[in-house]
């Protein structure tokens, strides 16, 4: 019911058709206040029913108008929960949407042939399509500076750091470790993003170099997978991804459960972490996949879930406090 604007504009959905299981979408329209990037990042949109008469003071466009502005095809009047069950049984699959006008009939045979022969979007440089092209600075009010390696970062992640006083220097994923060090960060953040983490080889090499320098590091979603790969771990593709706002994460040390927002199609292989120095600190309560990792000796940790929420719960916003404190401590040590 809520959070559809954030999801549609989330760069992690680049290359994907997004389907919502809640039966009515678009009830409060679309406002730029809820954007997680410059605009829509999805390839297509599937809903059970779209609201064409939204009611909210901040609404600027209907959902239909917004998608048309960005050239995103959509379809409604489908049983999205039945389709979700099929995906959970068969796994993630390729698909296409075709726009046609009243009085026209779609060529189903041709569409099926096209769907069977289409290229897997995961083979594209999805990160390169959504990242910044040059360095961008977001000022904070305190003497704490973090470099954010942008693989498709959400706006709310940047806001969570600047609201805590940290200055964020957003850099392209091709930025070298030497260039990052010259920016004099107190810590480095690895953002979320779309696609297979093994395809961002430049970032993996950069992170490996930064870890060798004992730079404080925090990874989110794709960033967590990159941390594992940089230290010699492995990742794998999930049969169906973890999407949505209510995924339970168990902290292994305390047994406490946190409700989280998630959006990933790959996961860290826990068996591959044996000689990496990384420990699993949280697991998913539903399927026991890795949800967070932390290095035993170095200032490095990462979460597979999205601690910023947006959309979703704010249960784990404290993760940002943890990293800002880690960065400030490292700065004091260097002094």
- pTM of this structure: 0.94
What is the average pLDDT across 231-257? Answer: 95
Q: Averaged over 249-255, what is the pLDDT?
A: 97
> What pLDDT is recorded for position 99?
84
Q: Where in the chain is the domain with CATH 3.40.50.880?
A: 126-334
The pLDDT value recorded for residue 333 is 66
Task: Using the predicted structure, report yes or no on whether residue 335 has a pLDDT greater than 60.
Answer: no
When pLDDT is cut at 50, 70 and 90, the band that residue 212 belongs to is: very high
pLDDT value at 334 more than 60: no
Residue 95 has pLDDT above 90, yes or no: no
pLDDT score of 316 more than 80: yes
Taking CA atoms, 6 is separated from 21, 123, 190, 230, in Å, by 15, 25, 20, 30
Q: Residues of CATH 3.50.30.20 domain(s) within the chain? A: 4-118
Q: What would the CATH number be for the domain defined by 4-118?
A: 3.50.30.20
Say how far apart CA 233 and CA 228 lie, in whole Å: 5
- Take residue 272 and report the two structure tokens written for it: 């591959």
For the segment 97-108, the average pLDDT, to the nearest whole number, is 85
Task: Give the pLDDT of residue 117.
Answer: 86
Catalytic sites, residue numbers: 221, 306, 308
Q: Sheet with 44-46: list strands edge to edge.
A: 17-19, 44-46, 74-75
* Mean pLDDT in residue range 125-147: 94
pLDDT category at 262 given cuts 50, 70, 90 is: very high
* CA 223 – CA 204 distance, rounded (Å): 10
* Whole-number average pLDDT of the chain: 94
CATH no., domain 126-334: 3.40.50.880
Q: Give the pLDDT band of residue 332 (cuts 50, 70, 90).
A: low
How far apart CA 153 and CA 21 sit, in angstroms, is: 25
Q: Please choose, from the candidates 98, 120, 121, the residue with its C-alpha nearest in 3D space to the C-alpha of residue 108.
A: 98
- How far apart are the C-alpha atoms of 94 and 87, rounded to whole Å? 11
Mean pLDDT, residues 278-306 taken together: 97
């Amino acid at each position: 019911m809520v959070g559809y604007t954030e999801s549609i504009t989330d760069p992690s959905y680049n290359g994907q058709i997004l389907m919502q299981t809640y039966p009515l979408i678009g009830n409060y329209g679309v406002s730029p206040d809820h954007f997680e990037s410059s605009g829509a990042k999805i390839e297509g949109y599937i809903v059970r029913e779209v609201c064409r008469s939204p009611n909210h003071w901040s609404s600027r466009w209907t959902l239909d108008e917004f998608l048309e502005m960005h050239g995103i095809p959509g379809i409604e009047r489908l049983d999205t929960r039945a389709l979700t069950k099929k995906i959970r049984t068969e796994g993630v699959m390729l698909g296409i949407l075709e726009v046609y006008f009243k009085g026209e009939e779609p060529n189903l045979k041709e569409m099926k042939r096209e769907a069977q022969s289409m290229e897997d979007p995961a083979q594209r440089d999805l990160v390169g399509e959504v990242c910044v092209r040059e360095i961008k600075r977001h000022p904070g009010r305190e003497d704490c500076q973090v470099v954010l390696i942008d693989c498709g970062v959400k706006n709310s992640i940047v806001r969570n750091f600047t609201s805590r006083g940290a200055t964020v220097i957003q850099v392209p994923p091709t930025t070298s470790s030497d260039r990052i060090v010259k920016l004099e960060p107190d810590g480095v953040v690895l953002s979320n993003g779309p696609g297979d983490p093994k395809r961002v080889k430049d970032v993996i090499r950069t992170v490996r170099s930064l870890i060798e320098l004992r730079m404080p590091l925090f990874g989110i979603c794709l960033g967590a997978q990159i941390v594992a790969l940089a230290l010699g771990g492995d990742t794998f593709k999930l049969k169906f991804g973890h999407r949505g706002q209510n995924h339970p994460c168990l902290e292994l040390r305390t047994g406490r459960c946190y409700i989280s927002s998630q959006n990933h199609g790959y996961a860290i292989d826990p068996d591959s972490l044996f000689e990496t120095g990384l420990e699993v600190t949280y697991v998913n309560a539903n399927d026991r996949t890795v949800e967070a990792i932390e290095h035993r000796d170095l200032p490095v940790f990462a979460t597979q879930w999205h601690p910023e929420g947006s959309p979703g719960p704010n249960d784990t916003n404290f993760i940002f406090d943890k990293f800002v404190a880690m960065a400030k401590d490292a700065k004091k040590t260097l002094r």
